[in-house]
Amino acid sequence: MTTTELDNIGQYLLKRLYDAGVKHIFGVPGDYVLGFYDLMAKSPIQHIGTTREDTAAFAADGYARCQGMGALAVTYGVGALNTVNAIAGAHAESSPVVVISGAPGVREQREDPLIHHRFGPFTFQREIFERITCATVVLDDPIIAFRQIDRAIAQARRFCKPVYIEIPRDRVMVEGYPMPAEAMDEPSSDAAALAEAVAETVELMAKSVSPMIVAGVELHRRGLQDALVGLVERTGLPVAATLTGKSVIGERHPAYRGVYEGAMSAENARDMVEQSDLLLMLGVTLNDVDTGVYSARLDPQRMVRAAQNEVVIRYHRYPQVTLSDFVMALAGSADVRGEMPSMTTAPMAETCPAFPEPNRPMTITRLIERLNQALTEDMIVVCDVGDCLFAAIDLRVHERSEFLASAFYTTMGFAMPAALGAQIARPDRRALVLVGDGAFQMTGTELSTHARFGLAPIVVVFNNRGYSTERFILEGAFNDISSWRFDRLGEVFGPLKGYDAPDEEAFEKALVEALGNRTLPSLINVHLSPDDVSSALRRLAEHLQSRVKGVG
């Protein structure tokens, strides 16, 4: 696609997306967006059809986390509104997703006919998306349409947030007006504030006895993984990750000490973080998930916090210092402290002793231990919410940024479609999908799309017959769900291998076969007791109980 070939609005939008790294667009066709779909079919961008619009948005989110930007195209009203939850999640978790919505034509809207999919004034849909995106544009004016497209895509990249682009169906083929490239202001640091923040941090590091790094999700979103590794390897500092930032550094790196999540952390990670005399909190968002339901014990007097646009050192605040500038400047200024810590001090073992044991029912702890042993360098783990997410704290993936989850927004149904997007973006990676039975029932139909496109994920269903996290909070029959034969879904979803795993021997056989099968999706239906919970959830329960009893 060359610039001279692009003389209409739809073509220009496709070219700009392609230039931004979007080689696939997810979605479900509808009459108001069919003209755009026709142009897409003639472009280098491939359409990935999904079973629902919300799963298209989840898939675009997973794609964006791996590729840097994702996109979906849906019809007006019934299509776009079905994506609102997933786009809200992308906004909450800083994932740059471009929502493209077809719309009734400009003439149709002006004459105000009673046309289908309408639910009020035609501005309503844009106004809804204004709340959950960083930019919204309606391409109804050919004179400014190209400039609107450029600005929207630039905003998505700059803020790592979704944007909304609405294109009336009678404007798709209308010629646009090329404009000179617009210089976009890039966020920059105040030089004096940056220098002083780095100098104060280096001084504190020199005086500290047990400094360490806590790495957060914003390092991933801003592409700062190399800078983080550079800082870690220059200083020899140990590093823990937050749950939302899990795998921002490779979890087999010698300096990695596990996930810190307050009382839900493994003992080694929790002790190291909470007993450190200087914490470098880089790109960390201190939400209730990352703090283990506010069970974290962190002293601001022993903390340097670098966020996207400021650095806070104890009670000193340095505004207009970007996270990128601070991390890279610190990596170039910090003193070398010594050799890298030995991997043998890492908190998680890679072996699973005596697995499988005959006639032993499956448990979450044993399941995670065995999966840890099975993880390979070419795997990307995509995890849904609930206890499978808390259990995954103890997983240790090989490569950086290869653990994806809706860990802050915590929407159920994320994993299956997000894994689709991740594998389309990274065909060199194989997805290991961890999903509860309830979450699978919401969006598991997307496994059929995996099969359709010849992908071979390994899907592990945590089947405990209900919503385990909610049971942990308040037990009741409302937490029970229908019992599905997940292992037989190949009869409906297309070519896939299903396995039933009520015990360790059955799971071992299924896992070995699934690892060897690289042509079809594999789904393992793991039977778990409804009262079996992860180590992390058990640790949180003990902490909460001690607080109630006045012990902790």
pLDDT tens, position by position, 280-333? 999 998 888 888 888 889 998 999 999 989 999 988 999 999 999 999 999 888
What is the Cα–Cα distance from 130 to 544, expressed in whole angstroms? 39
Q: Say whether both 381 and 293 belong to one domain.
A: no
Q: Say whether both 215 and 313 belong to one domain.
A: yes
Does pLDDT of 33 surpass 70?
yes
Give the pLDDT confidence of 188-209 residue by residue, as tens digits.
899 999 999 999 999 999 999 9
Residues paired with 261 in a beta bridge: 263
At 3 the pLDDT is 45
241 band by pLDDT with thresholds 50, 70 and 90: very high
494 band by pLDDT with thresholds 50, 70 and 90: confident
**Could you tell me which of 215, 242, 212 has the C-alpha nearest to residue 226?**
215
3 state DSSP class of 164: strand
Q: Say whether both 333 and 393 belong to one domain.
A: no
What is the Cα–Cα distance from 338 to 238, expressed in whole angstroms? 12
Q: How many CB atoms lie within 10 A of CB 3?
A: 9
At 339 the pLDDT is 59
What is the Cα–Cα distance from 357 to 369, expressed in whole angstroms? 14
User: 528 in a domain, yes or no?
Assistant: yes
Averaged pLDDT, 390-396: 91
Averaged pLDDT, 495-499: 95
What is the Cα–Cα distance from 407 to 337, expressed in whole angstroms? 33
Q: Say whether both 205 and 103 belong to one domain.
A: no
Dump strand ranges (E) for 237-302.
Answer: 239-241, 256-259, 278-282
Does pLDDT of 271 surpass 60?
yes
Q: For residue 323, what are the CA distances in angstroms to 178, 264, 330, 499?
A: 35, 27, 10, 46
Q: Say whether both 445 and 526 belong to one domain.
A: yes
3 state DSSP class of 373: helix
User: 175 in a domain, yes or no?
Assistant: no
- 303 and 279 Cβ atoms separated by less than 8 Å: yes
Q: Write the CATH number for 235.
A: 3.40.50.1220
Q: Say whether both 305 and 244 belong to one domain.
A: yes
Instruction: Output the 3-class SS for 11-36.
Output: HHHHHHHHHCCCCEEEECCCHHHHHH
Cβ neighbours for 192, distance < 8 A, ≥ 6 positions apart: none
Does pLDDT of 550 surpass 60?
no
What is the Cα–Cα distance from 82 to 434, expressed in whole angstroms? 24
What's the number of domains the chain is made of? 3
Averaged pLDDT, 241-268: 91
Cβ neighbours for 43, distance < 8 A, ≥ 6 positions apart: 1, 11, 14, 15, 18
At 348 the pLDDT is 47
User: 215 in a domain, yes or no?
Assistant: yes
Give the pLDDT confidence of 522-532 residue by residue, as tens digits.
999 999 999 89
What is the Cα–Cα distance from 207 to 212, expressed in whole angstroms? 13
Cα-only R_g, the chain: 24
User: 329 in a domain, yes or no?
Assistant: yes
Give the pLDDT confidence of 36-60 residue by residue, as tens digits.
999 999 999 999 999 999 999 999 9
3 state DSSP class of 302: helix
Residues paired with 27 in a beta bridge: 49, 73
Q: Residue 46 half-sphere exposure, CB side, CA atoms within 13 Å?
A: 8
Name the burial class of residue 308, with classes exposed (0-12), middle (13-18) and buried (19+) by CB atoms within 10 angstroms of its CB: middle
- 400 and 250 Cβ atoms separated by less than 8 Å: yes
From 168, 203, 230, the end of a domain falls on 168
Question: Residue type at 121?
Answer: P
263 band by pLDDT with thresholds 50, 70 and 90: confident
What is the Cα–Cα distance from 382 to 398, expressed in whole angstroms? 14
Does pLDDT of 341 surpass 90?
no
**Could you tell me which of 227, 255, 256 has the C-alpha nearest to residue 331?**
227
Domain containing residue 7: 3-168
Does pLDDT of 349 surpass 60?
no
User: 346 in a domain, yes or no?
Assistant: no
Tokens of 343: 């991997």
Q: Say whether both 200 and 159 belong to one domain.
A: no
Q: Say whether both 89 and 213 belong to one domain.
A: no
At 199 the pLDDT is 95
Q: Say whether both 195 and 324 belong to one domain.
A: yes
Does pLDDT of 235 surpass 70?
yes
Question: Residue type at 22?
Answer: V
Beta strand pairing call for 135-138 and 458-463: unpaired
Q: Say whether both 320 and 223 belong to one domain.
A: yes
DSSP state of 466: B
Q: For residue 393, what are the CA distances in angstroms to 196, 361, 387?
A: 36, 22, 10
What is the Cα–Cα distance from 286 to 276, expressed in whole angstroms? 18
CA 378 to chain centre: 18
User: 67 in a domain, yes or no?
Assistant: yes
Q: Say whether both 467 and 503 belong to one domain.
A: yes
User: 181 in a domain, yes or no?
Assistant: no
- 307 and 317 Cβ atoms separated by less than 8 Å: no
- 386 and 436 Cβ atoms separated by less than 8 Å: yes
Q: Say whether both 323 and 445 belong to one domain.
A: no
What is the Cα–Cα distance from 415 to 38, expressed in whole angstroms? 30
User: 221 in a domain, yes or no?
Assistant: yes
Give the pLDDT confidence of 88-136 residue by residue, as tens digits.
999 999 999 999 999 999 999 888 778 889 898 899 999 999 999 999 9
Residues paired with 434 in a beta bridge: 383, 460
At 342 the pLDDT is 52
Does pLDDT of 347 surpass 90?
no
What is the Cα–Cα distance from 68 to 96, expressed in whole angstroms? 7
Tokens of 62: 């997973």
Query: Could you give the percent of the chain with pLDDT greater than 70?
Result: 94
At 545 the pLDDT is 58
Q: Write the CATH number for 141.
A: 3.40.50.970
Cβ neighbours for 495, distance < 8 A, ≥ 6 positions apart: 451, 520
